[in-house]
Amino acid sequence: MNVHLPDTATLQQDRVVPLDLADEALRENFIAEIAEWAKHPPFYAVHGGSLQVIVSRYKDAIEVYRDRERFSVKVPKAPGFERFDKFMGVVTLAQMDGEHHDRIRRLMSPAFNPRAITALEPEIIETIDDLFDRAEATGRQFDAMGDFATYLMPRILLDLMFRLDAPQKAAFTRMSEVIPMATRIPPGGEFPQEYKDAFAHSRTVINALIDERRSNPGDDFVSVLVTTKEQGDQLTDTELYDQIFTVTASALQSTASSFAAIVYVLLKFRDQWEELKRRPELVPQAIEECLRYHGAGFLSFPRFATVDTEVGGTEIRQGMTLRISPQGACLDPEHYPDPLKVDIHRNPKDLLIFGGGPHLCLGNRLARFVLQVSLERFLRRYPDARLADPDFRPSYRGQVSETQIASLPLVLR
């Protein structure tokens, strides 16, 4: 692929915007900022020698998500693109194209069997109640992020689904903790030593786990991945490591951030919380509506143009990097009228918050199920919950463009 990037002077000037995607001010105010992006066709975000095409309107986002001929997810092997190779050579499912991607996804799909996930419901409820009990027992003010959401997916994915022991779990958790460091390394920069150490250790632990489950398979997630065969085809050891890594990296923070965002939005728009108390059967659609307004991040993984083309009238040249904003699509007034109004009756069915097209989030059913059970339990246990500070404004952390609420102090009763 030709990855020569054009001089910005040769671009449509009315679509060039000086914009630093890592700017904290952008993240702190992302809902209002991205609601503005969503009113415009794709634009060129130019900052410090880097150029990315931001795609925010719903129809443009869908077009790019679905067209894998014109837009590849595979990171070009060329100078300047090292910043997208964040995982020390691991090839995640999200960075594969075509038949390669489809084959790996097919071989992973049985591990996401909805019946197996639903069968975990009693254990998931027990885990959620245990987390609430422990947080209450401290006697401290309850932080929905620090005391609950942070522990939610590690307990569900690593304890209940992967059935890991404590040292194995510690290696997975450490690996997921260091990942945000990678998005802040400048192009061509060195990975920090603690990052390299966490990856090296997780590789040893995951490879040993693969061997263990292959010789003694159970009904856990890793055993299903290790034993799934399709017409004689199976994931190789490298593919297994890469995809166990992918699932862990994709699942933990995104689900925690989403739960904190949902609780924040419902308590901020108190009338919606009161309505949900009256109509708890609306929990699934309230989750969709809250995530439409405040997702876990505002940019998808990059796409790279394989040909000269256009989207929404914006010229895209071969080799350009495109960033879809699923959050933008959620706030597009053409698709969701009055997008900044939160209304749990809206029922936004075709949300792009889990992506779209061939790379639609593989864990979306699991994530939605965990969020649903968590919110149902929270609503039932703490109907009088409120924000400790009625004027609370979240501060965010995580990788560039992630909107992980750092802490969410609540009064529960």
- Which residues of the chain form contacts with ligand HEM (CB under 6 A)? 93-94, 105, 246-247, 250-251, 254-255, 258, 296, 300-301, 326, 353-355, 359, 361-363, 366-367
Q: Report the nearest approach of ligand HEM to the CB of residue 367 (Å).
A: 4
Q: Report the nearest approach of ligand HEM to the CB of residue 299 (Å).
A: 8
- From the list 337, 343, 237, the residue with the least C-alpha distance to 290 is 343
Nearer to ligand HEM, 11 or 344 (CB): 344
Nearer to ligand HEM, 145 or 366 (CB): 366
- Alpha-carbon torsion (174, 180, 183, 186), positive or negative: negative
Q: Report the nearest approach of ligand HEM to the CB of residue 365 (Å).
A: 9
CA geometry: angle 356, 361, 366, nearest 5 deg: 135
Q: Is 17 helix (H, G, I), strand (E, B) or coil?
A: strand
Q: Is 16 helix (H, G, I), strand (E, B) or coil?
A: strand
Q: Report the nearest approach of ligand HEM to the CB of residue 230 (Å).
A: 16
Q: Report the nearest approach of ligand HEM to the CB of residue 224 (Å).
A: 13
Contact in structure between 150 and 260 (CB atoms under 8 Å): no
Q: Report the nearest approach of ligand HEM to the CB of residue 101 (Å).
A: 6
Helix then strand then coil, % of the chain, to nearest 5: 55, 10, 35
Q: Report the nearest approach of ligand HEM to the CB of residue 73 (Å).
A: 7
Q: Report the nearest approach of ligand HEM to the CB of residue 69 (Å).
A: 16
Nearer to ligand HEM, 192 or 358 (CB): 358
CA geometry: angle 339, 271, 412, nearest 5 deg: 120
In angstroms, the CA 165 to CA 59 distance is 45
Nearer to ligand HEM, 11 or 149 (CB): 149
Q: Report the nearest approach of ligand HEM to the CB of residue 306 (Å).
A: 16
In angstroms, the CA 267 to CA 275 distance is 11
Output the DSSP codes for 128-148: HHHHHHHHHHT-SPEEIIIII
Nearer to ligand HEM, 326 or 394 (CB): 326
- Number of neighbours of residue 250 by Cβ within 10 angstroms: 18
CA Rg value for the chain: 21
Nearer to ligand HEM, 11 or 332 (CB): 332
Nearer to ligand HEM, 11 or 68 (CB): 68
Nearer to ligand HEM, 51 or 362 (CB): 362
Residue 271, CA distances (Å) to 113, 276, 367 in order: 36, 9, 26
Look up residue 122 and give its amino acid. Answer: P
Nearer to ligand HEM, 65 or 273 (CB): 65
Closest residue to ligand HEM, judged by C-beta, is 363
Instruction: State the chain's maximal CA–CA distance in angstroms.
Output: 62
